[in-house]
Structure 1
Amino acid sequence: MSIDYDLSPEGIATVTINRPEVMNALDAAHYKALSEVWTEVRDNKAVRVAVVTGAGDKAFCAGADIKSVLTAEHDWADNWLTQRDQLLNRGLEVWKPVVAAVRGYCLGGGVTMLYATDIRVASEDATFGLSEVKRGIIAANGGTMRTMRNLPYCRGMELLLTGDRIDAATALDWGLINKVVPSAKVMEAAMDYAARIAANAPLAVQASKELAVRSLDVDLVTGQRMEQMISRTLRETEDAKEGPAAFRQKRAPEFKGR
């Protein structure tokens, strides 16, 4: 099977992990293919927003394929190849917004991928969990780093240290996801978010995401200065002129991303 990629005329990229026979778990080849797809999303100017999902209705992603990834032998030198095959949740900076459409199991690496998305829709039967400690390993690829950025301290520790799973209602209550809908409506709800984002000025959207993400790592004064400079830069763009013009003329804006 494969990592499927599709781009709509509206600029919505759909990334589908297509390995339903193994709950959309990822082996080395599919991790590499996923890295290539995220690089395409990052670099293709026609992409305004991405939706990531798993094929079928049983799983979003069950994480690493244990039979191949966790049992494979690696050269210690590989540990310092930090730029190789980067992922959305492992070093790759993608400022286009990413919407997750989750059906069924979202476990291990599926959760760490979810952490790297911006808006999340889940089915009523979705299940979330970081079970790595039950296997003698840790939630890598941002698992331990992003848990505390996505959840309150005690909730994050519960997920990390027990390895237990939570259902969609609990994930919504904890603030891990935005919305819970019937399984048949997951992609529709995710695409609705994507369409609303894609209709906005792409440079302003990407700038907003980058500033919000970087605010987690800088002090307020520095962050506000960054915000001021980027705001001033955006005012010189064609889109910043198109937005007010469309408002005055009572029409939908035609943003070009320049």
Structure 2
Amino acid sequence: MDFELDQGVATITINRPERMNAMDGATYQALSEAWIRVRDDGDIRAAVITGAGEKSFTAGADLKSFVGSPGDLSEFWNTQKGQLLNKGLEVHKPVIAAVNGYCMGGGVTLLLATDLRVAASHATFALSEVKRGLLPANGGTQRLLEQLPHPIAMEMLLLGEPIDAETALRWGLINKVVPAEELLETALGYARRLAELPPLAVQACKELAIRARDMDRTSGLRLEETMLRMLKFTDDAAEGIAAFSERRPPAYQGR
């Protein structure tokens, strides 16, 4: 796993190109540590996740390292160990996926936990676990139905057939399709624009949008009003108003 930080943007690269960036136990652990750093490091305002090489974002879990290995049953109840973005770790900073090829199984469930998604024109997407007697865990059976129309989501879940980038775009799974050579710069462009915005407001917007899925409307509106009242008294809100009045670029500090 590679981790780079530049001007408030963290770039996380799954680096197992010899295995199509499939994720074994060590990779999942490193990815968990990367997400925790994104969550906790105040210098990070946005993150980009991608895969090494030009062939694969990630082929998902490295099944040879998991299937047939029962492990210790006590691990089943250790629900906070090795938390991932798509497994319940709360990261309210924006995350952009740069899909540089095959996005299969756990790659799709990771994708579903990101906020903005750019794919190279040769990218391929599939939740093919059902064909191997398994199911797309870490949120695959949960988020897909939230983000896609029911019949389309069920087609992906039950048939496990691959779709190309243009189909993913048409279905609303991704934001944009670009030539491979423009992929990373396009994703970083999103991240840099986000990093220039007031981070408290960005994180509040993301948290409210995510929590709205599990809240009734009255509670959601109440939480929205509470966060807005908090933001009104931040230095960033005062800076935004001052910069607008003085016709200058704002300098947000996240406080």
Specify if TM > 0.5: yes
Write out per-residue CA displacement over residues 196-216 of structure 1, whole angstroms, 9 at most, x where no aligned residue: 111100000000000011011
**Per the alignment, in what secondary structure is the counterpart of residue 138 of structure 2?**
coil
1:213 paired residue number: 210
**Per the alignment, in what secondary structure is the counterpart of residue 112 of structure 1?**
helix
1:98 aligns with 2:95: yes
Amino acid at match of 1:67: K
CA distance in 2, matches of 1:48, 1:71: 40
Gaps of 5+ in 2: none
Amino acid at match of 1:5: F
CA distance in 2, matches of 1:152, 1:197: 28
RMSD of aligned C-alpha atoms? 0.7
1:229 aligns with 2:242: no
**Per the alignment, in what secondary structure is the counterpart of residue 61 of structure 2?**
coil
1:33 paired residue number: 30
Deviation at residue 182 of structure 1 after TM alignment = 0.4
Amino acid at match of 2:146: R
1:182 paired residue number: 179
CA distance in 2, matches of 1:73, 1:5: 31
**Would you say the 8 A contact 1:16–1:52 is kept in 2?**
yes
1:6 aligns with 2:4: yes
Deviation at residue 120 of structure 1 after TM alignment = 0.1
2:41 paired residue number: 44
1:239 aligns with 2:236: yes
1:150 aligns with 2:147: yes
1:123 aligns with 2:120: yes
CA distance in 2, matches of 1:138, 1:113: 14
1:19 aligned to which of 13, 16, 19: 16
CA distance in 2, matches of 1:39, 1:72: 27
Deviation at residue 70 of structure 1 after TM alignment = 2.3
Deviation at residue 89 of structure 1 after TM alignment = 0.3
**Would you say the 8 A contact 1:59–1:106 is kept in 2?**
yes
CA distance in 2, matches of 1:70, 1:243: 52
Write out per-residue CA displacement over residues 181-240 of structure 1, whole angstroms, 9 at most, x where no aligned residue: 001110011011111111100000000000011011111111011000100001111000
Deviation at residue 92 of structure 1 after TM alignment = 0.4
**Would you say the 8 A contact 1:211–1:227 is kept in 2?**
yes
**Per the alignment, in what secondary structure is the counterpart of residue 214 of structure 2?**
coil
1:75 paired residue number: 72
2:135 paired residue number: 138
Give the TM-score normalised by structure 1: 0.98
Write out per-residue CA displacement over residues 143-168 of structure 1, whole angstroms, 9 at most, x where no aligned residue: 10111012110000000000100000
Deviation at residue 45 of structure 1 after TM alignment = 0.5
1:253 aligned to which of 226, 239, 250: 250
Aligned residue pairs, count: 255
Deviation at residue 72 of structure 1 after TM alignment = 2.4
Give the TM-score normalised by structure 2: 0.99
Deviation at residue 69 of structure 1 after TM alignment = 2.0
**Would you say the 8 A contact 1:106–1:126 is kept in 2?**
yes
2:60 paired residue number: 63
Deviation at residue 170 of structure 1 after TM alignment = 0.3
**Per the alignment, in what secondary structure is the counterpart of residue 89 of structure 1?**
helix
Matches within 5 A, 1:160-179: 160-179=157-176
CA distance in 1, matches of 2:132, 2:34: 29
CA distance in 2, matches of 1:90, 1:66: 18
CA distance in 2, matches of 1:254, 1:71: 53
**Would you say the 8 A contact 1:64–1:70 is kept in 2?**
no
2:190 paired residue number: 193
CA distance in 2, matches of 1:156, 1:234: 37
Structure 1 segments (4+ residues) deviating >4 Å = none
CA distance in 1, matches of 2:110, 2:83: 12
